[in-house]
Structure formats: structure tokens, C-alpha cells
Structure 1
Amino acid sequence: MASLMDPGGVMHSTVHDTLAQMWRKDAFEPALTHIRFPLFRNLSTNLRIEFNHPVTAITGPNGANKSAILRALQGCPRGNDPGNYWFGTAVDQIPQSERHRFIYGRRSPTTEGVVEVIKTRIGRRRATKDGPVPDPDLFEPSRPLTSEPDCMEKFPAELPKKPGDASQTRWSAISKDVLYLDFRSQLSAFDWAMNHSEVTFEIGSQHEELNLVKARKKRIRSRTAALYKAISETLVTDKWHVNERIVTPIHEMTDEERGWVERILGREYKRIRLLRHRYFGTKVSGWTVLLETPGLQYSEAFAGSGEFAAVLLVYQISRAKPKSLVLLDEPEVSLHPRAQRELSQFLADSAKRHKHQIVFTTHSPEMIRSLPAAAVKVLTFRADNGQVDLPIQDSPPQFAFDAIGAEYEHPTVVVEDRLAKDLVERALAKHPCETTVHVSYLPGGADTLWSYYAPMWSQEKRTNILLLLDGDQTREAPRPVDEIPPNELEAELRKTFPGKDGPHLSFSRSDVGSAGHREVAVKEVLEWRRKFVRFLPGWTPERILWDYRIRGPEDETDLPEQDNAKDAWCRYTHAQTGETAGERIYTFQLQALQQVPDDCAILATITSTIDDFVRSL
């Protein structure tokens, strides 16, 4: 399959370029554009996830509420309720005073823009076949909440609406089929019968566990005769001991579906069939998978767990209704890395063919390796309050796992981008620090480093990280905190951090009740900023290297210090090659870097800055 190199240096298949074009042309409508959480589980207030690509991966450390986010997404379309899966008990109570809720966006045919819908844990009576029953966990749509932290737009009641787009008081929930697969709990019919079914057996002896196994084994053997008949005669219905046993009659996978299973598992199959039934129990149904290779026939009882999972995933996604919302919880479970890479390609192909919007959680680098940055969301824990946050919307795959609570074993210099990284590593070449200092960059650029990572590292009390920003970010360093009067702390923060809102601190200036916590957080981030933030000499790496480019006869004159060197490099590359692709520009910049002499004053300034940092440790 053909592939391209994106500006972040990551290989991604051309199918994702096609998917991006289809997304921009609204080929997946109706689709979710974003979801945010004013109050939900352990997520930071108004944590927002934007969907800018039809396939989205959510990753992060254990306990980061990834599955909870999937359940919220499951609850977005009309008729779905996350209260079926997240509910309070006597052990784990959810106070009724906490109105857990989430808000999502969809495109409106009325406004031709994005509108928002809110679902709130209201706790009313749920309609059942036996009449309404109290349900404290019921999530229902409600009118827009315009005050903080929800900040929804007021519903335009007087605006004429397209049919089905709204009620009299709110925008309607999105109408979309949902397929949710949790691969940690996805069991075959045999595995359920062997490990979870209830049977009568002798208890109280030292052989109790063995007795249970034998009882389950006996039941399975006694019931497989009926299962075999259903398979061999391709029964559509079978009432056995009064109860209907066949839930989904036996189906054979198409050549295309089987082909994907072969790609994922790396094996050849002559035929694959599936049957969903209740032969091993009257209430719980399960899937039996029948596989035929060139030299063997067997069922899921003899198949590996990864084999069963791959077959069921391909089958169910391929048979889902077009434009479904497909939610997958850790689909890589039981698959080896090569199979995971093929599975990721299958998901992209399914999105393209069936116009599914697919969101999956993962801990696997292989599952996100081929995804564009817009498709990767990396959750982290805030150091100040332990809540889950999403610092940036786009994470190039090669940084996704570095960005989650990375433990820097060596002194680390963090810069804005890969060209700055190359420049710093060039400065450290043949220097004693070359083998002891790690140079890295994180996605999001200077704004994210200032607003999110600097306060996070200050709260974590990281003393082995130097944030080395481009020269165009230079600002006056703060005074030592013991020299700043309390009433001048906020002014010092505004003066030494860029942006109207400054660094992302959990305690707001407007929250009177947390004034003491706010003061501590401000002092910590100011002191960390003073000690561990420095700036590259010059304006930007692009501007520094411009003077060392290989010049042609009609080359541009020298640039003023603060001119946009990125545009100049674009023009230079176009003049040389007729192209302006990011990789082409980067190649010429690396050529210029090789022309920088060892005794360059700029390189000496960089090494001096890093020397001072290392000696301070």
C-alpha cells in the first residue's frame, strides 16, 4: 500500500489522505464534531475532544477514563443512555447533587453550522414494559445550559427549523446507529460456557475448583450435539427445550471479509462461518466461529483468543449499517504488533468504504502509527488535582507515548519542533553533554509548552527538564517568588507568560474559595519558569539557518532579523525544485545545518545554556 511522509516525519497511508478529504466534504454526516465534559467522572472541567478525522484514537495511561469517554460517545445518539453502564451502588455512590453531563456537537441542516446537544444525569423514571420505574442514573437531553462551565449558546426558538432538527426548546440528538465492542470482555460461546456459566457441582471439598471444571465440561459435551445439528443443517430457527436457541443464523464471511482476517492474522483460510446461539445457556448468547484452513477444520474452542477477536471484529464492523458510530475499547487485545498494524489499516478501509465514524481506545503504538496527528488524542493526568486532561487536539503518533507522563531518566532539553531539536543536537555534537543530555520536542508548539507543559512540570516539581524555546518567544524572567509581594503575583504571571489566559492552572482567579491554592500554584509555576525556561539565540531556527543555505545565482538577499523565515524557505525550495512540500523544505534546512561551522557563536551560546542547566542539577 502506498504511503506518504507527513510533516512530523510519520509514515501514514494514503487512505488517510482520502479520509481527510471525505471528512472535509461532509461524506460522513451525520457525525459528531466534538464532545466536551463540564462534569463527568474524573475528567477535567470542560475537557474537549474534537473530531477532525473519521478515525480517532484515544490513548493515555491506565485509569484515564478512556472507556468512560467511549460510553459517553455511545450515549450521544438518540435512544442511548450511558446510565445503563455507569451507575451508583451502595459501595460506589454518585451523589445526586453532582449533575454529571456531557455536551456534543453535530452539524445542523437548519443553521448549516455546528450546534450542541447536552445529556445530563437527571435521574427520572425510566419507561419499561412493566411501567415506569425510578432510575437515578438516567441520562436525558435537557435545555441548553448557558452559564459556566457549560457555556452553551442560547437556543434560537424563533428560528424556523428543518424537520427533525430540533424541538421547541433544544436541538435534537444526533440520529446514528452505534456499534460498541469491548475486546476485554468479548467471549466466545465456548469460553463463556467453560469459564462463566452456572452449573450444579459439589462444593466444600478440596477439589471444588476441579469439580466446577468437570461440571462445565459435561454440560458443553451434552449440548454440542444440538449445536452441531444447527451448523450442519444450517438451521434458521431451533426451539430446543422450549427456548429459541439460534439468535443469528449461520453466516459465511465474504471473500473480502475473509481477506481482511487473513491480512490481520497472517494465515490462509478456505472458509469462515459464524453462528450466534444460546445452546450453552438460555439467557446468555455467544458466538461460535468455524474456521477452515487448507489442512484443518476447527471452532473457536480450539482457536486462539486473538483469532476469535479478529474474526468477530471484521464481521461485525463489515456488517454494521453504513455511517455507523463504531466504538472499540482496546481492539488490539490478544493481537501481536504486526496484526495490530493490519487491524489499524482495516479500520481505515472500513471508514472509507462504509463511511463509519470510528473511535477506539488503545495502549498500542502500532494501532496509531499510521494515523495522522488530527486522529490521535493523548490523555494525561494533571499533577495538581489528579484529573484527566487533554492538552492538545493533534498529536503526531511518534510523540503520543512520550507525551503521557514521560519519565525523563536523563537531563532533558525540550524544544518547539524537530528543526530546533536538530539545531541543539548539532550544538552538542562532540560536547561532553552529547551522551548525557536527551533532546526532545512535543507536539503543539510554543503555545502548548507555555500554557500546559510548563505548569504541569512545575506541579510535578521536575528539575531535570530545560524548556528551550525559540528566540521569538523571549520574555523577561520572573523575579524570585520571595521578592514578589502577594498582590503582584498575578501581574508577574501576565508579564512573564504569553497569552491572555497565561498558564493552565486548575485554580481560577475568579474562584474566591481557592485563593490560597491559586497563590501556591502561581508561585510554583513562576519559580519553575525562572529556573528552567531559556531561549535559543536568534529569532527562530529557520532564521538562523537561512544565512547558511546553499546560495544560487538568483538567490534572495539576506532577511531582516524578524522576517518570516518559514516563508523564505518555502520560496527558496520552490525555486530549487518547483515544490513546497514540508519534507523538501526540511531537506534543504538540514543541508544548511551541515554548513554551520563548529566555532559558530550561536552553537557556543546553546551549549553554554545547556552546560549551566546540567551543572545546576
Structure 2
Amino acid sequence: MIDKIVKNINTLQQLKNNDIHRKYIEYIRYPFFRNLAPDSKITFDFPITFLVGKNGGGKSSTLQSLYGCPKGYSLGDYWFTTELDPIKEFDKNRNCFIYGFKDNGLIKEVIKQRIHRDNDPDYWETAKPIKRYGMQNSQRFSPIEKDVVYLDFRTELSAFDKFFHFLKFHSNTHKTKQDFLRFYSNKLKEAFDTNKIISYYKPNRNKPKVILSKIETKIVSEILRKEFETIEIIEHNLFKDWGTSIRLKQKNINYSEAFAGSGETAVVILVHKIYNASNESLILLDEPETSLHSGAQKRLMSFLIEQCIKKKHQVVISTHSPFLIENMPNESIKVFSTLNTTGKFVIDNDRNYKEAFHELEIENTTKKIILVEDRTAQIIIDKTIEKLGKATEDIFVTKYLPGGADDINQRLTTIMEITDDTYVVFDGDQKKLQSPIDLNSIPPNQQDTSVKLKALIKSQTGCDVKFYLNGGNQSKELKEEETLRLAKKYLEFYKKNVFYLPLLIPEDIIWDEDFAKKLLKLLKPDKDISIIKSASSNSKELLFNFCIQCYGESKQYESTVLQFVSNWLNKEDTHFLNIKNLINQLKN
């Protein structure tokens, strides 16, 4: 399933790159809106966008503002003022949002502002372009015309759950809720069985029954991993308030939402509404993972991607689930964080899904491993990662293997069989070739034997690598075939997972003579840097001899390295930028 999802994600990205979507909101920005930091902006670089963050972080408010973007829809349906929670406007800064959509190759910006009217205190209308908000055009454009499907799965309760768990019960004819449900369930069964409109005390107690198509039923069955023969839906107010009831039929059993899990009801409603949505709809989903286990969440995500491809939908999802955002491109993930200084929410538009785990306070138990060949390299990489922030720290663990480069090159024959998330960062002096070997660029007759491939590996690594073959009395032909497979896999792994520090040895990166002079003057004013230089042939010896001169013992060597690393990090020179870019590359 993962391969299918990844393939469809690539297809969806190509559709976006080729401007296939004709009705597409390219971005939305908030000069002044609720608790978002002023001038916050979300770019919709991928047809499916995820809003990730802690509860109360502005995600639902953002979904509701998107609901209010198209023509005929208003944010006032969801956000309105009350005496208890009045909506305040400040001076000229009215609550507003601005979105851009493409029309004939040009971006049209539409601003919607909250306008108080005596007969409608929650009225939102388009306004003339406001220059102080960076709107360049003088023309007021009409809103985008687009159907909207908005589902909040925290409130998308079945009629049974809504009545049984949330409505206050009072009845002159029924002693308990159970008695009430038993009586009115007969009326509901009549509606399901006959497809009649029930009139009991009130007219039109239900809407006509909907029977899901065979395709919809198959989709629900696949997501839930159950074999349903028929699925029916009825909207009614037989349980005092309007709600949705479903009836599910399997081979040997029929049951309603009263005995179905809330996740089953949610999936039925979601599949039906999205499958029947008009082309190029705006689909807004608030926590669709509610009551679904991880496998069902992944299959639900696969369905959403397929519908986006077929119908060119634009989907925005608020979620706390790592299973929905796994495998999605960085540009699809928008992370909401809280500023400690103001309490306002800020939006990061390009975050790796594992960084998003950090914001959700989900422990990342599958960290990516970076292997290095010496302790100084480990300190440099660890401190660079630390400088990039806690979210990046949560992705990586750096390990120093004391056996040296040859030992690591040999270990890769085992590592490549276990994981794709282990990387090697060698010292620069291990770089034997300008670019890693790419078998696609090498003629077949130069890679058709294990001898030739091992020669290529040696030119890349500088050492002879031994492959461990399956046990048993294999023929020479089978051994050759297996060695060929492993050697090719090794070179492919090397190309994708092995990198180098920018200079020959890590000490070259951090050694700074000016800093050494200042530190030496502070610690040992009677010593001269020239003594250290004359006794050293490279930067590693410079650091070691500096440590001895300053502290009189080698035990302080790692502390000395840390001092020079801190100085180097503060400079943020080209070598720092190279390593920073490498780490960002590994995140993806």
C-alpha cells in the first residue's frame, strides 16, 4: 500500500506542477485574524495540505476561514460573536483574510472582512483591495466559485451517539433513554425498510434514504477491512435532534450505528460525501483520524489521494495523526506553533513530518542514524543539529564507530539490508571520487561481473569489501548472481546514503588561529601560538597541542574541541552552511 500511496503522491505533485487544477486557492494570508500572528500566511504548494499542531493552536479557525473563501459561503456560519465571547475589532484592523487564486495565469486576490450589521452582526463580505495589506490590484475581484465539503469529525456524531451521550433526556411517556430509543428505533427501521418519510407528531421526520453505490461500499469495506454488502444512510430527527443514522449489512449480520464504532460511522459519511463531491471541490476535514486505528487511517489517506487525482479536489486536513502525514511531501505540512512572548500562533509552511511529530509531542522512536568515523566529527554534527532546533534534534542520532572508515564501509553490507534511514558522513579525506558511482551512467559491459563491480566499489571506498552470501552449497553461477545483486545494491546505497564533511579532517573545519590566540592569552598569557604551530603538522595536532599547552593534560581535549566548535558555530561560515544543508537534505 505504501508504494501505491507514494506513486499517487508523485502523480498528484505532477498535476499541481502542470497547473491542472483550474479552481485552486494558491495561498491564504491573515493580516489580522483571531489568534494568528499578524501577517501569517499558508501556501498551498500541494493539493493536499495538513495543518498540524497542538489543540487550541488555530487549526480549526484556519479551516473555517477556508470554508468562507468561495462564493456563497461565510465564516459567520462557524465564528460568531456572543456576550460571553465577543469578537473584538481593533481600530482599522478588522478581522480579515486574503486569498489568492489563479485565473488565466494571473493571481487574483480576494479579501473578506467581518462587517457588523444591525441585522447580522457576523456578516463577512469582500472588500476593495487594501494597500496596507500588500494588495497590489485596485480591482475588487469576485470570490472563487467552488463547492465546499466541510466535516468536523469531533462533532460528526451519529444520531444515536448524539442523543444517548449528549442530549438531556426528558419524556412523559418513556422512563429511560433506552425506552425512548427502543420506541423510536421502530420508526427508524420503518424508514430504512420502506424508504418512507415518517410523520409522527411532526411532519417530515426524516429525509429519503441513501443507499451507497457498490463502489462506495467497496471503498468503505477496504478502509475498515470488513466485507459489507450494503450500506444505507438516513438523516432524521426521530431522536429529538437532526442527525445521521447508518445501517450496515454484512453476510450474516445487520446493524446500525448504535452497534457500530464511531469510526465506522465517520468513514461511511466521509466516503459518501467525498465520493459524490463535484469536481474541484474544496474538501476540509477536521481530525478525520478520530476513532480510527493506524491501518484504517492509512487506507483512508490512500482513498483521499485517489479522489484528488480523479476529481482535482483541493483538500485541507487538520490532524494530530502521524499516520496521515507520513510519506507526504514537506510542502504539504503546515505546523502551528505558539509564540511564548505573545501567545499568538505562527505557521511554518515547510516541515518534515518527523519534525511535526515534535510539535505534537509524539516521541520519534525511528530516528535517522548518522554514522561518523571519529569523535570530533560527531561533536560537529551533533552541535550543528542542536543549533537547528529541537525539532531537528528529534529526527537524528549521531553515532561514532571507532573502527575507522574501512570498518564502516564493510558494515554497510549489513546495514543496507536492514534500513534506508542510516547515513554515513565520512571525513573529507575519504572522498576518492568527485561524485558517487551511478550505475545508470556506466555501460552494461563494465558492470556485468562481480569482479568489475568490486573494482568499482574499491575505487569508491578505497578498500576491498566482502559480501556475505547465503549459506548452503551454491553453484558458482548462483554465488556470482547473488554477489552481483549485493554489489549493485551496495553502490546504490552508497550513492544515496554516504556523504562527506567539507574539509579533509573535522579539525580543519573548527580550527581558528585568531580564536586560539585569544583563548591562549586568556588562559596562558606567557605562552605563544608559534610554539604550538611549530610542533604541529595538521589541525588535529594543533588542537591537541593547544590543549596540552593550556591545560597540561590530554583529558581536556574534548572540552577544547567543544570550545572551538562553539566558536565555529557562531561564525556560521561556508562550512557550517554546507553541513547545515546536508542535514536538511537528510531530513527529507
Return the TM-score normalized by structure 2. Answer: 0.67
Residue matched to 1:525: none
* Distance in 1 between residues matched to 2:96 and 2:560, nearest whole Å: 48
User: How far apart, in 1, do the equivalents of 2:79 and 2:266 lie?
Assistant: 25
Measured after TM superposition, the shift of residue 137 of structure 1 is: 2.2
Aligned residue number for residue 218 of structure 2: 259
Cα deviation, residue 182, structure 1: 0.5
Structure 1 residues 75 and 599, CA, compared in 2 at 3 Å: closer, same or farther? closer
Q: Within 2, Cα distance between the matches of 1:216 and 1:548? A: 75
Q: Give the Cα–Cα distance (whole angstroms) in 1 for the partners of residues 23 and 491 of structure 2.
A: 38
Pick one of 48, 51, 55 that aligns with 2:44: 51
Contact 1:545–1:589 (8 Å) recurs in 2 = no
- Give yes or no for contact 2:248–2:254 (8 Å, CA) kept in 1: yes
For 1:576 and 1:277, the matched residues in 2 are separated by 68
Alpha-carbon distance between aligned partners in 2 of 1:29 and 1:143, rounded to the nearest angstrom: 24
Look up the match of 1:161.
none
Letter of the 1:154 counterpart: N
Match status 1:188 vs 2:158: yes
User: Post-superposition shift, 1:37?
Assistant: 0.5
Tell me by how many angstroms 1:592 deviates: 5.9
2:247 to 287, 290, 296: 290
Q: Is the 8 A contact 1:57 1:359 kept in 2?
A: yes
Contact 1:328 1:359 in 2 (8 A): yes
Structure 1 position 217 matched with structure 2 position 187: no
Q: Which residue of 2 aligns with 1:104?
A: 99
Distance 1:245 1:439 in 2: 66
Q: CA deviation at 1:344?
A: 1.3
Say yes or no: does 1:239 pair with 2:199.
yes
2:121 aligned partner: 136
Pair 121,195 (structure 1): closer, same or farther in 2 beyond 3 Å: same
CA distance in 2, matches of 1:405, 1:610: 33
Quote the residue 1:274 is aligned against.
Answer: 233
1:258–1:151 CA distance, 2 compared to 1 (3 A): same
Change in CA separation of 1:48 and 1:602 when aligned onto 2, cut-off 3 Å: same
Aligned-residue offset at 1:291 = 0.9
Amino acid at match of 2:211: E
| 1:139 shift after superposition | 1.4
How far apart in 2 are the matches of 1:234 and 1:577?
69
**Cα–Cα, structure 1 residues 197 and 49, in superposed 2: closer, same or farther, change >3 Å?**
same
Distance 2:184 2:223 in 1: 32
The share of aligned pairs that are identical, in percent, is 32
The residue number in structure 1 matching 2:136 is 153
1:327-342 matches, cutoff 5 A: 327-342=284-299
Judging changes above 3 Å, is the alpha-carbon distance between structure 1 residues 81 and 2 closer, same or farther for their aligned structure 2 residues?
A: closer
Aligned-residue offset at 1:358: 0.7
Q: Secondary structure at the match of 2:370?
A: helix
Q: Deviations along 1:76-127, whole A, 9 cap, x unmatched?
A: 0111111221122222222243511110011123xx21121001111125xx
Per-residue CA deviation, residues 158-187 of structure 1 (Å, 9 max, x unaligned), is xxxxxxxxxxx4011011111110100111
Over alpha carbons, which structure has the higher Rg?
2
Residue matched to 2:275:
318
The residue identity in structure 2 corresponding to 1:94 is I
Aligned residue for 1:229, secondary structure, equals helix
- 2:264 corresponding residue in structure 1: 307
Alpha-carbon distance between aligned partners in 1 of 2:382 and 2:360, rounded to the nearest angstrom: 17
Amino acid at match of 1:368: I
* Number of the residue aligned with 2:370: 422
Q: Unpaired segments of 5 or more residues in structure 1?
A: 5-11, 126-132, 156-168, 203-210, 413-417, 469-540, 557-567
Distance 1:215 1:600, change over 3 A: same
Equivalent runs, 1:9-88 vs 2, <5 Å: 13-88=6-81
- In structure 1, the residue matched to 2:3 is 3
Matched residue, 2:530? none
Q: Is the CA contact (8 Å cut-off) linking 1:378 and 1:404 kept in structure 2?
A: no
Unaligned 5+ residue runs, structure 2? Answer: 399-422, 445-489, 511-539, 544-556, 568-588
Does the Cα contact within 8 Å between 2:206 and 2:235 map onto a contact in 1?
yes
TM superposition shift of 1:224 = 2.0
Shift in Å, 1:356: 1.4
Q: Structure 1 residues 242, 407: CA separation in 2 closer, same or farther (over 3 Å shift)? A: closer
Q: Separation in 1 of the partners of 2:377 and 2:15?
A: 49
User: What is the root-mean-square deviation of aligned Cα atoms in Å?
Assistant: 4.3
Task: Show the counterpart of 2:476.
Answer: none
